[in-house]
Amino acid sequence: MTITMAAPRDFAAAYLSDGRVKVAGFDVTPAWPERGAVEVYTSAFKEPMYDFVVLPLSNFLIAIDRGLPLIGLPVFIDVFFPQLGARVNKSAGIESPADLEGKRVGVRGFAFNPAVWLRGALADMYGIALDSIQWVSAEPNSLSGVDFPRGPGFEVETTTESLDDLLGRGELDAVFWDRGGPALTEQTAHLFTDPLGEALKYHLLTGVQPLNSLLLAKRDVLDANPGLAQAVVDASNEARERYYQDASDDDAHMGLPLAWLRSNGLFPHRNGLVDNRTSLEAIVRYAHDQGIISRRYALEELFFDGAT
């Protein structure tokens, strides 16, 4: 029986995608669609296109909350800091995070993983009243058509227009992108004067290094193949070690300079629940506080039994 596994073509996953690292003891075929990640993400809520799929953390939590027959593996495809993607219109009067209250903020989907992370970080670091912000969600997005709740105090509009254009025209006061977002223009600026410094401050105060996406498996595939989950984790760990050895300080990971990550003890970043417990518990709390999942899950409910 051939088992299919989503393997993006960048970072550590590239070593699985191109066959340099294989899953020992099982016939596992890595794949990645030409249309990219969104096709994988949206399929998870219908019929997953692979036996092992990749999902952003917030999408994963919504999938579990909806009772889908999936389970997480402690394999984290990429890490990032959403502080780098927070942009404002210079005319919006936003001089500090507190000025976001009462403003219109665009996101690539209300439950867009970077938006969930950054909202949580703003609440933790600055006490921002998140429900005082008018959220504008871009459509389509990786959760289009998926029924998930929002916190009762949140007001969410939708738009099919370009968030970048809306921000430039001043119809949005700010936008939360992933990575660094589009190039700055004469009308736009970073929310934080020093985004990398803000990211490091958040990490040092909370112990959190935000996780972007992870690997999930169909439960019935794991049930039918004892030992498969651990074999995939082992292969992913080997791929990650090779990526760390080969990555140059001149490279970037999710928009973050590797030299900066290394100098601040943020790279290499390991898989596993032990090393990521603080970050995972933070995103579960953020997702629940923002109302997109019904309760705070224990990590042991979310990941397969052999995970460590």
Q: For 166-216, how does the pLDDT look when each residue is reduced to its tens digit (9 = 90+)? A: 999 999 999 999 988 899 999 999 999 999 999 999 999 999 999 999 999
Query: In angstroms, rounded to a whole number, what is the distance separating the alpha carbons of residues 72 and 82?
Result: 22
Give the pLDDT of residue 306. 79
pLDDT over 80 at 305, yes or no: no
Query: Does residue 307 carry a pLDDT above 70?
Result: no
- Tell me the pLDDT tens digit for each residue of 111-130: 999 999 999 999 999 999 99
Positions of CATH 3.40.190.10 in the chain: 3-79+210-302, 82-206
Taking the C-alpha atoms of residue 64 and residue 222, their distance in angstroms, rounded to an integer, is 16
- Beta bridge partner(s), residue 27: none
Residue-wise pLDDT for 30-89, tens only, equals 999 988 899 999 999 999 999 999 999 999 999 999 999 999 999 999 999 999 999 999
Q: Specify the fold of 3-79+210-302.
A: D-Maltodextrin-Binding Protein; domain 2 (3.40.190)
pLDDT at residue 62, rounded to an integer: 98
Hey, what CATH topology would domain 82-206 get? D-Maltodextrin-Binding Protein; domain 2 (3.40.190)
pLDDT of 152 strictly over 80:
yes
Q: What is the pLDDT of residue 145?
A: 94
For residue 308, pLDDT beyond 70 = no
What is the pTM assigned to this prediction?
0.97
pLDDT at 271 over 90: yes
Of 259, 103, 81, the C-alpha closest to 180 is 81
Q: What percent of the chain has pLDDT over 70?
A: 99
The runs of H, that is alpha helices, within the chain are 13-17, 37-43, 57-65, 113-126, 163-169, 195-206, 219-224, 228-246, 258-263, 273-289, 299-302
